[in-house]
Structure 1
Amino acid sequence: MAFYIRISIELLTWASLFFCSTICTGTGSTFVAGTTPEALALWKSGWWNASINNVADHCSWPGITCDGAGSITEISPPDFSVGEKFGKMNFSSFPNLVRLNLSHQGLDGSIPHQIGDLPRLEHLNLSNNHLTGTLPSSLGNLTQLRMLDVSFNYINSISLKFRSLKNLVSLNLTGNNLNASTAPIIGLPTNLSHLELASNPFCCSIPSEIWNLKSLVALDMSYCSLNGPISSNISHLTNLVSLSLANNQINGSIPSEMGNLKNLVSLDLSGNLFVGLIPSRLGQLTTLTFLDLSSNSFSGSIPPEFGELTNLTNLRINRCGLVGPLPPTLGQLTNLRYLFLYENCCGMWFCMVVGKANFSL
């Protein structure tokens, strides 16, 4: 009799263990009937603290947003929770994901090719990490992508064919290790409105393809070791609001065609090798609030047409080699707050913080 009792107890024990193994994990996470592939993928990724163990309620996890049907549409984990676990996520489990924000996550290594398995993704932010290698070609599968931000990493080449991203309007590759030979800027979608490529050692002239991006609103190629002149084709970019080509080795004169960019609010051409006269047509950019032409090698004097820039709040023309007196028309700049004119050759050795309402010469 004792023998049968012992056998029964052992069978009950094994049955209990089997039952527990079907609903429990080593971390205490509980799975119930109907647990979705999305929820399982979240848990298996290890991106969240093990203390968050209610997989059935994954829509309430930090950084998770779901639609009305309970499908995940946004993943934005708490800072520095992903790290080396980047490649552990089964991205194909998220057919309705629209936003993936992995900025400031301590990611390193290469971008996993599987990230291209997100058919509805519109926003991808991988900025401020330690990613290396290439932008993988699989990103070209993200045909709904509108915003791609991989700024401030260590990416050194581009395998991605940008032309497949026909919906892309914002591209930020600032602060990587891209150069003209391993990361040519070609095939960019023509509906781009924001292009940020600053702080990359391209070491080339401004790519001619840039002038075909007629939808551009903001272009930043500062600190890119650019050389050669600015093409007169810059006049094609009539929608530009912000343009920065600062701190390069761009030479020649500023093309007068830049006066066609009537929507410009901010223009920064400082820290280059420009020579010749400052074009008087810049005075036609009446929407400008910020203008920086400092640290160049111009000749001549400040164009009197600058007095038409009545929206200017910040004017920097220091270290430009300018001569002659200040034009009286600058007294019309009643919105000016900052005026930098020092280290020129006409007695203009000063900078000013101008009162809000009054500025006279």
Structure 2
Amino acid sequence: MEGREARRSMATTLEEVLLSIETTSSAHSLSSSTTASKEALELGRVISSLAVPRSVDVSIAANDYYKPRAVKSHNSCTEEDRSSLLRFLAGLSHDGGLAASWRPDVDCCHAWEGVVCDDEGTVTEVSLQSRGLHGSISLSSLAGLTSLTRLNLSHNALSGSLPPELMYSASLVVLDVSFNSLDGVLPPLPMLMTGLKHPLQLQVLNISTNNLHGEIPESIGQLKKLEVIRLSNNNMSGNLPSSLGNCTRLTTIDLKMNSFSGDLGSVDFSSLHNLRALDLLHNDFSGVIPESIYSCNNLTALRLSSNQIHGEISSKIGDLKYLSFLSITENSFSDIAKTLHAFKSSRNLTTLFIGENFWGEVIPQDETIESLESIRHLSIYRCSLIGNIPLWLSKLKNLEVLDLSNNQLTGPMPSWLNSFNNLFYLDVSNNSLTGQIPATLIEIPMLKSDDYKAHRTILFDLPVYVTTLSRQYRAVTSFPALLNLSANSFTSVIPPKIGELKALTHLDFSSNQLQGEIPPSICNLTNLQVLDLSRNYLTGPIPEALNKLNFLSKFNISDNDLEGPIPTGGQMNTFSSSSFAGNPKLCGSMLAPCGSVEVAHTIPTISEDQQCSSKTISAIAFGVFFGIGVLYDQLVLSRYYG
């Protein structure tokens, strides 16, 4: 329960546009940073850029569903509907000022906020999202709106259970009660309604981010027109009902962050030909990936991360020709070589997150893996993979994000890193890499760009979560420009030209064997937010010019051999003593006091650049880097999420 409660606490951070993708959904934190990092890496490109049939466009359709109609009725509101709405208002413990608009002496079709009527004066839409409403949903009132087609009560504080008369209404097309405090179970179809001659009209069902528990009822299969179902971020459990396969119009299934279990084979996915997004992140599903999933020809985003699924990835995954985002992190898959070669026909695949699988295997050393040439975002973290950084990676010319952290990779950093024109995120932390930091690392074009964000116009298909899932990213422009080489065995000095990587926001060289002084050019990294040079053998003074790195929020130069006074004023005053500890020759107000203020000021004045060369420190970026694994996963689904 602790993990689930932790997830729920993150719901408030969600609309982050996904931080990313600008989605209005909320992220949920996990019980540990380890779990969080699992999901962090999941970026995706805009589905609209794919050559996917547009007969069913979820992202567009869903937005249209939520869009209130501007047309108002020329007739007066019916007395029945007016009374129903007033009863709903009276049942709220806090109406968020709605009563000022919903006055009994004013016609509800012409002046009531959030109410739309048809030409006959019948209420057809009620849109009251984000109005600060508190209280229980009044069944007696809403059930009286017999012609209601669209109901949006999302992002409020409504409580109670979901009335079955709403979910199985004969008229309702869109039902969105997400981001509330509803509890109880997803109601089954009442016995009195099982003999309906006409199909139910519901197309969009969004109950995400509430407190629902229990299973999905078998009667869900009665919603034959259902296109979008979102039950994410609840406390639901049990197997998926086989009747879900009867909802053949489904384009989006979002069940992430629940406790669903069992074998996915209980659902015949082969009947879901319109399915474009399937997100089962953070559940307890087991078994293997069912063959029927490979029959979903229009599938563009598939996330199975953080479950208990095992086995090998079938070569049939190549049949999903429109697949652009795949995340299977934190499962028990095996045979990484077969997996990487399985995407021969997946020419649209841009985001691939496969970390925390393939434990202890050897990373393929092929010169080329043709099936991956379209990849932009690749995460193979925390697999304990053995071997050198492989040459086939150099052929992925479109790479923007590469995460190989937490493996057992050995050997030097390759010299071809500067061949990636679009790479802005590189994490090889926690490996056993050796040698010098290559000069070619400083030649990565995107990291040298003064305006690198202008080149990154792609949106993620799903939300990407960072660290403890407290942040989500939807737009690539919101993603950090990161270089993390921490926890390896790199030697020699920090490259003197490090300051040319002007786009960097996160730089972590901690826990290596680096020597010498901090190069003066590091003070040119004016976009830095995180700088961590701790646990090395760096010498010399701390440059005062570091105080001018105005965006620096995390800084760590502990456990080196730095000397002299800690600069005062500016950014240095914002960091605790732990950022400087383990340097016996350092002095200052937060450590051992220097001889006197005068002595500190008699140090020869040198140029600002040289002062900066003294050393720069920065923050513990490991949490950010680690979490980025989770980021990617959600990035791609974010487009569908909001």
Over residues 111-142 of structure 1, what are the superposed CA-to-partner deviations in whole Å (9 max), with x where a residue is unaligned? 44443444443332221111334443833554
Question: Gaps (5+ residues) in structure 1?
Answer: 1-26, 35-46, 65-69
Aligned with 2:282 (options 129, 152, 156): 152
Counterpart of 1:110 in structure 2 is: 239
Matched ranges for 1:210-229 at <5 A: 212-229=371-388
Report the AA paired with residue 183 of structure 1.
F
> Normalised by the size of structure 2, how large is the TM-score?
0.42
Give me the whole-angstrom Cα distance separating, in 2, the residues matched to 1:343 and 1:61. Answer: 54
Q: Distance in 2 between the 1:211 and 1:256 partners?
A: 21
CA distance in 1, matches of 2:285, 2:167: 35
**Cα distance in 1 for residues equivalent to 2:278 and 2:290:** 12
Describe the shift of the 1:179–1:268 C-alpha distance in structure 2 as closer, same or farther (beyond 3 A). farther
Residue aligning to 2:508: 316
User: Deviation digits for residues 17-67 of structure 1, max 9, x if unmatched?
Assistant: xxxxxxxxxx99989x99xxxxxxxxxxxx933474872343364449xxx
Q: 2:304 aligns with which of 147, 154, 173?
A: 173
* 1:202 Cα offset (Å): 4.2
Give the SS at the match of 1:306.
helix
Deviations 1:211-262 (A, max 9, x none): 7333333233333443433321112332232222322333333333333222
Residue 361 of structure 2 aligns with which residue?
Answer: 204
Are the equivalent residues in 2 in contact too, given 1:30–1:53 (CA < 8 A)? no
Q: How does 1:319-338 map to 2 (within 5 A)?
A: 319-338=511-530
2: CA distance, partners of 1:49 / 1:143: 31
Distance 2:394 2:428 in 1: 16
Q: How does 1:251-330 map to 2 (within 5 A)?
A: 251-288=410-447, 289-330=481-522
**Any conservation in 1 of the 2:427–2:483 contact (CA below 8 Å)?**
yes
Residue 146 of structure 1 and its aligned partner are, at CA, apart by 3.3
TM-score w.r.t. length of structure 1: 0.70
Is residue 58 of structure 1 aligned with residue 157 of structure 2? no
Which whole-Å CA distance do the structure 2 matches of 1:55 and 1:112 have between them?
A: 21
Q: Which amino acid aligns with 1:355?
A: L
User: Higher relative CO (CA 8 A, sep ≥ 6), structure 1 or 2?
Assistant: 2
Tell me if the contact between 2:175 and 2:206 (Cα under 8 Å) persists in the aligned partners.
Answer: no
Q: Secondary structure at the match of 1:75?
A: strand
TM superposition shift of 1:318:
0.7
Alpha carbons 2:357, 2:383 under 8 Å: kept: yes
Instruction: Give secondary structure in 2 for the equivalent of 1:124.
Output: strand
Corresponding residue to 1:192 among 331, 338, 349: 349
Q: Note if contact 1:119-1:142 (Cα within 8 Å) is conserved in structure 2.
A: yes
Could you tell me how far 1:180 is from its partner in structure 2? 6.0
In the superposition, relative to structure 1, how do residues 243 and 84 fare at CA in structure 2: closer, same or farther (>3 Å)? Answer: same
Whole-angstrom CA distance in 1 between matches of 2:305 and 2:542: 33
Give 3-state SS (helix, strand or coil) of 2:260's partner.
strand
Q: What's the C-alpha RMSD, in Å, of the aligned pairs?
A: 4.1
Q: Name the CA distance, whole Å, in 1 between partners of 2:222 and 2:304.
A: 25
Pair 1:252–1:112, CA change in 2 (3 A): farther
What letter matches 2:515 in structure 1? V
State how far apart, in whole Å, the 2-side matches of 1:243 and 1:353 are. Answer: 31
Q: Which amino acid is 2:169 matched to? A: V
Counterpart-to-counterpart distance in 2, 1:125 and 1:131 = 12
Residue pair 2:427, 2:485 contacting (<8 A) in 1 also: yes
1:90-123 per-residue CA deviation (whole Å, 9 max, x = no partner) reads 33743451x3222113232334444344444333
The 2-side partners of 1:54 and 1:175 are apart by 32
Distance 2:504 2:169 in 1: 55
Q: What is the CA distance between 1:315 and its match in structure 2?
A: 0.7
Deviation at 1:283, TM superposition (A): 1.8
Change (3 A) 1:109 1:226: farther
Paired residues, number: 319
- Per-residue CA deviation, residues 260-287 of structure 1 (Å, 9 max, x unaligned), is 2221222222122222333322222232
Identity level (%): 28
